[in-house]
Structure 1
Amino acid sequence: MNVFWGGEVQEGNPFCSQKGFPSWSASSSPGSPPSIAVHTLTASDEAVRVCRELGGVLYAPDRFASEVGAEGFGSFVEHVARVWGAYRGHVFFAACGAVVRAIAPLVRDKATDPAVVVADPAGRFVVSVLSGHLGGANELARVVAAVTGGQAVITTATDAVGAPAAEVLAARCGLGVENRAALARVNAVLAEGGTVPVFDPDNRWVIEESGLARFFEWVSDPGVIEAGRPHIVVDVREMGNVAGRLVLRPKVLAVGVGCRRGTSGEEIAAAVRGVLAERGFAAACVGVLASVEVKRDEAGIAWAARECGVGVRYFSARALDAVDVPSPSRTVKLRVGTASVCEAAAMLAAGTNRLVVNKRVVGPVTVAVAMAG
């Protein structure tokens, strides 16, 4: 987790091409590394088939690896430790106990651990073992079971009773989870068949699945929610730390940045943080930084973008100069060929013609903010 930006960087960024949890239903695109490792301790035909269908990498003991077209390994425990972080999902055709012992020293956090699924050699039972929701192991188990003709075994509380899991729905809506500590309380209510209040002023909590909306009740003001009752807030604004409040962040803010040559990343980051805080916006909602093409080699801008886990979009001076902005500058026009850098870049990156924060000058840095729809 990035401490400076105050929220975990998750998938679901509207400034990227994909959102939600990883899809396990198709093989990797040409040229991209496989996202799934399939490990088998026996010469399992089902392991070979699953690996082929999902476009993964097959691993097997050295003694028969060549027979099944797999990459070989000696010690199973050492092999798992070596490849653990290289894949988003691991499918094991092995005994559950052996797998649990192998992965136990490697497990760190549900937000970062890869998905782990374990199946018997014939693929009759496919068990979601680790990172069922956030890592997508529940869905991976279902996909593997569909290939083998077996039964997916899902033991997470909400799935067991047919209730939604808040983090799964959040990812589908492109929302980042800011305080995972509240997830357990919200999901406990859902697992018991209860309803969870939702404050969502911009209508970003969209429930498309039939029958799931009944688990939520939308409120116009979080102040009307009974104290201590688990609830969800979906907002770009900073919210108070309230017991039971799960805060979900849409990464919809495009921050336009201009700076003097050689400005440090720390100065740029501090300027962005200060402007957002001044206007009450959560830094966790930043989806992209944006600037003018001639700033592409500015190390400070790249550093600030890495700090918030987002990319930088650079626009040509010509494209920026065509944008109608509140605060054009003749001086900037003479220097870089456009009357606006930060305001125009923010609006272009967000795909909007208005700003939520007009240009602010903070020392050697200029900052403007736009919000994607």
Structure 2
Amino acid sequence: MSADTQTSRPHATGIARAQTPLLIVGIIGIVVAAIGFVTNAPEFYRAWLPAFIFWFFIPAGALGVLCLQYVTGGEWGLLIRRPLGAAARTLPLFLLFGLPIVFGLQYVYAWANHDIVAHDVLLSRKSVYLNPTAWIIRTLVYFALWTLWAWRIRILSLDFAKTRSPYTELTRRRWSAAGLLMIVLTLTTTSVDWVMSLEPKWYSSMYGIAFTVSAGLSAFAFVTFFLTLLADNPAMEGVLKPMHFRDLGNLMLAFTMLWAYTNFSQFLLVWYGNIKEETPYYLKRMHGVWGWMAAALVLFHFFLPFFMLLMRSIKDRPKTIAIVTVVILIMRFVDTYWLIGPAYGYEHFHFSWITIFAFIGIGGLWLAAFIAQLKGQTIIPIHESWVDEALREGTLQREAVRHA
């Protein structure tokens, strides 16, 4: 294999070198977080959930965006199919990351505590759906479906790369169309099982939609940031262009607006309804530091990215759009913690050191797995039919494809 043949592979861009350090950091994070289990097991279980949900959003959203790209095509996905696919195929890893939650269900969810359910009429009625056995079965079904779709699309893509068969391409598109429906439905029910049921007496018909949009936004922010890391690498010269970042910036703008719309609509419905079972959800999130976090979400999760992503000069430059993606990802964690923290009855702001190391541990291991999935692949899927179209229209240079 010539040097040119390797230029846009992950090892040529330097990404592969980060795998071992990330793996080491991840292991250290998990070990330190495990100390919290020894000192305070209930706190460990509760602190684990926000870190788990934050990192889960990225591969789950990646699977949805990947299906969307295969259904619609379009040059906006020219350079993100491979990173999206790599992220989506790491979803089975979250079965392992979720084990602490399974072992600590009674500490994480009130409906899993038999003593609480026995003395609460409403929770007793909901126990047909909200019970540990059903929760575990549904979770296994979710992961089975996500894994099936992620790897089925991967197998079809590998087959298409060898055969260039129109039938294979059509089959992949059909699987992707069905996958879009599957991911929306499963993320909706996942949001109920994993997060909304933290406060089992509260419910919102908008919650699942907001959860799904959050996953999509997390995925777009992550893959865009990933591409910005490659922008200055000589191996990517002629591959990454301003229009690619502009397209991704426009999609992040759309998902930022969707996030604001779904969350504001949910707030408006609860405020307008003024039902005693619903209003406490927002009342306790509007006081003290929780209230300041809510204000930060409005300012930095919506307004700042919204106005920055309106400007073409910011979207076209890797360094400036990287700043936007970092802001979005930071606020995604703030949003996740704001949703989960008050559910445990913390009237005042509470943040555990265990969450920090759980975040580092899960993140390090997941990023190492993500890089492992990218190894041996070119950044550009050179066998796709739309690469020829991109060459004709000038959105991709022929030299870049040869280098790929």
Higher helix share: 2
TM-score by length of 2: 0.23
Larger radius of gyration: 1
Instruction: Give the TM-score taking structure 1 as reference length.
Output: 0.25
Higher RCO (CA 8 Å, separation ≥ 6 residues): 2
Structure with greater proportional strand content? 1
